[in-house]
Chain A
Amino acid sequence: DTGVSQDPRHKITKRGQNVTFRCDPISEHNRLYWYRQTLGQGPEFLTYFQNEAQLEKSRLLSDRFSAERPKGSFSTLEIQRTEQGDSAMYLCASRQVPGRDNEQFFGPGTRLTVL
């Protein structure tokens, strides 16, 4: 256990429904990342927060996706009007900055299946 938790671990939904995932980072970590991992591929960056500020979003993050980190602690990732192409593992990671040696710790991921 890395200390980063994600909820739920699995989510099955029908196309067109909205889903929300939660990530609880290591408490003292001020930076939080979201990645998406499709089957047989490496994770791809979606977005990241420095405290409560969302500082960068990938082109992968369409306007159906929104992420928040309201108090600089936990974060939520919402997908509206889900599509079958959204089926993937959504990974959260946290890290403390500054500290160039500090590593990212990953959560167990939320596996989303869109039917």
Chain B
Amino acid sequence: AQTVTQSQPEMSVQEAETVTLSCTYDTSESDYYLFWYKQPPSRQMILVIRQEAYKQQNATENRFSVNFQKAAKSFSLKISDSQLGDAAMYFCAYRSIQGAQKLVFGQGTRLTINP
């Protein structure tokens, strides 16, 4: 079974600065997807960025980028130019391409933005 680990329960960053959230995972599969989801307080979980395992190029979405290290099974999220609206719980998630294709989540990192 796949597992996802986020070792930073809480992180904080000054507004306009850059912050990196860490995630490691374990799998025996060679093809899969990795995701970062954002869950603001009392609001719906939304997708921030995704990475396909067979793509070597790291995904980028505006101020959000990932550092995907397949051999090390590491998948970190970098948020540049942090904004107050970035404050939320961030979850790293794994999805197999087979079977149920359910999401396997890490424990989450609570990100605080300091004005």
Contacts and interface: CB of A to CB of B under 8 A. Distances in A.
A103 B47 contact: yes
B97 A100 contact: yes
Interface in B1-37: 4, 6, 33, 35, 37
Contacts of A55: 100
B99 interface: yes
A100 to B, nearest CB: 6
Interface stretch (A20-28, A39-47, A79-87): A39-47
Contacts of B46: 2, 106
Interface stretch (B59-67, B71-79, B102-110): B102-110
Given A100-B97, A103-B50, A44 B105 contact: yes
Nearest to B110: A40
B44 interface: yes
For chain B, the bracket of interface size reads 20 to 34
For chain A, the bracket of interface size reads 20 to 34
Contact of A45 (B50, B97, B103): B103
B41 to A, nearest CB: 12
A42 B100 contact: no
A97 B102 contact: no
A108 B105 contact: no
B44 A43 contact: no
A45 B108 contact: no
Contacts of A1: 44
A33 B102 contact: yes
Contacts of B44: 1-2, 4, 106-109
Given A91-B45, A103-B35, 8 more contacts: A1-B44, A40-B107, A42-B4, A42-B105, A43-B103, A43-B105, A45-B102, A97-B101
8 contacts: A45-B100, A45-B102, A45-B103, A55-B100, A93-B103, A103-B47, A104-B103, A106-B46
